[in-house]
Amino acid sequence: MNSRLKFYGWGIEGTGLDEAERTRMLRFVADRLGVEPHLATPPQIADIQLRSPRIKAPGAIAHVFRDDPYERLLHTYGKSYPETVRAFERDFANAPDLVAIPSSEAEVSAVLDWASSANVAVVPFGCGSSVVGGVEPAVGDRYAGVVSLDLRQLDRVLEVDETSRAARIQAGIRGPAIEAALKPHGFAIRHYPQSFEFSTLGGWIATRSGGHFATLYTHIDDFVESIRTVTPAGVMESRRLPGSGAGPSPDRMIIGSEGALGVITEAWMRLQGRPRFRGGAAFGFPDLFAAAKAVRAVGQAGLYPSNLRVIDNEEAGIYGVNDYGESLLILGFESADHPVEPWMARAIELIQDHRGRRHPDENAALRWRTAFIRMPYARELTVPLGVINGTFETAVTWDRFEGFHTLVRTATVEALKEATGHSGTVSTRFTHVYPDGPAPYYTFNVRGTPGQLLDQWRHIKTRASDALLAAGGTITHHHAVGRDHMPWYREQRPALFAKALEAAKGVLDPARILNPGVLVP
């Protein structure tokens, strides 16, 4: 089977939605968005004219670099909506001049040394699943050229400390390979972002990834024990410790830095035992606010379920869980050590105290999860149809939630109409839950105007993002900042922090070659 990643969409070449999934998706765009369905041919390498590379690989490390069309196309875009639109328009104007694929940390250092001396920008690349414009090599005119630095060959679990339950893992390894390597030891990281199959450890750390678990240990921050980072100024490695109060954490500076401060080459990661005990249930509620009250009760009870997720009426219908009739609350517990029935029983009691109806269909949660994981493939169908699709995720305290949700949803609904002249869909789910607030995730779909899709998408995102901040939420919860969120991120971070971050950039990357435009200045 072909193992090459698509350069224009999600996953491996030759894969995508199956016939039943395509039928359901095309029925949705026809019935709910008024779009006439048809299938379009995706871009082919022969369709695209790339500019000639502006730079040449240095002789001493020329074997590290590639300039063939496939590699340059693959490293042009991530998987955001604007990038997919431009890919289907065959617009790859910002393709990197070269792609570096080092096989060792020494070769990473050599690439950075050469780039610093040659005024070449470098954009680190894991597996290209960024949905916020984090990997596109758009660096402006001040550089002689740009290199995409792909870590795919740094792909091993190097060491497992079974006593401390930690492993030293190279940054370019993908999620499934980590799982396979740790399984014989009885461990896993238990970090499962939606992009798990097509994302890397270094990408999780660099983008401050959020995993699938709804409470407790879910952010990549929780699993990092130490990080080794190659910068143009040298190698920076933090100490392996279970915790330390010795000043600001060096790991915290690298987690979420998106390749702007250095290239993560490996990390010691805390491990979890593989679960032996599980329990789960699903409940129906008339609307999102009713379900949210039950979620808050469970979230504040100290039970820490692995899954405590709400899918509102609209999203439940779109994903085929029900007929838009009620919101779905999905509850789950797991443990490697002990049965989970007492925790399940108390959580169910709290949910039923808030009038949650035990869902009669035991497969409802599985249907939603399957549709959720498969959803990224849909853009290859919907973008050529002129459908505008987007997501944004946030977090807000419980005391603000109902007013926050009303304002954000209203602003987004209005923005769909303003931008396109059409009504669309806006759906919501909770991805993570904290004792002090939820992390709502919004998805919008609307019929757009061919030739104007990007302007219309930007209008919708701008209105929604402005509403998020005005209502007291964060601009992003677990999708990193990238270029798409940068204007709002700059507004919400303290001015002195921005100066401190820029100073750190100046020390670690004096020539400012690393991922220019992301995170700093």
Dump pLDDT digits (tens) for 310-360: 999 999 898 888 888 899 999 999 999 999 999 999 999 999 999 999 988
Dump pLDDT digits (tens) for 373-398: 999 999 999 999 999 999 999 999 99
Give the DSSP letter of residue 118. H
Burial (CB < 10 A; 0-12, 13-18, 19+), residue 152, is: middle
List of domains in the chain: 48-150 (3.30.465.10), 160-273 (3.30.465.10), 276-376 (3.30.70.3450)
Confidence class of residue 2 from pLDDT cuts 50, 70 and 90? low
In the chain, the percentage of residues whose pLDDT exceeds 90 is: 89
Cβ atoms 309, 329 nearer than 8 A:
yes
Backbone phi and psi for residue 319, each to the nearest 5 degrees, phi listed first? -85, 5
Per-residue pLDDT for 447 more than 90? Answer: yes
The pair of structure tokens assigned to 182 is: 């740790």
284-288, 323-327, 459-463: range with lowest mean pLDDT: 323-327
Dump pLDDT digits (tens) for 173-218: 999 999 999 999 999 999 999 999 999 999 999 999 999 899 998 8
Confidence class of residue 1 from pLDDT cuts 50, 70 and 90? very low
Which helix (H) or strand (E) segment holds residue 268: the answer is: strand 263-270
Q: Compare 318 and 461 and report the one with higher pLDDT.
A: 461
3 state SS for 66-115? ECCHHHHHHCCCCCCHHHHHHHHCCCCCCCCCEEECCCCHHHHHHHHHHH
Bridge partners, residue 145, by sequence: 120
Per-residue pLDDT for 411 more than 60? Answer: yes
Per-residue pLDDT for 361 more than 80? Answer: no
Dump pLDDT digits (tens) for 52-93: 999 999 999 999 999 999 999 999 999 999 999 999 999 999
21-30, 32-41, 358-367: range with lowest mean pLDDT: 358-367
Distance CA 75, CA 518 (A): 16
> Is the backbone peptide bond immediately before 521 cis, with ω within 30 degrees of 0?
yes
Q: How high does pLDDT run on average in the chain? A: 95
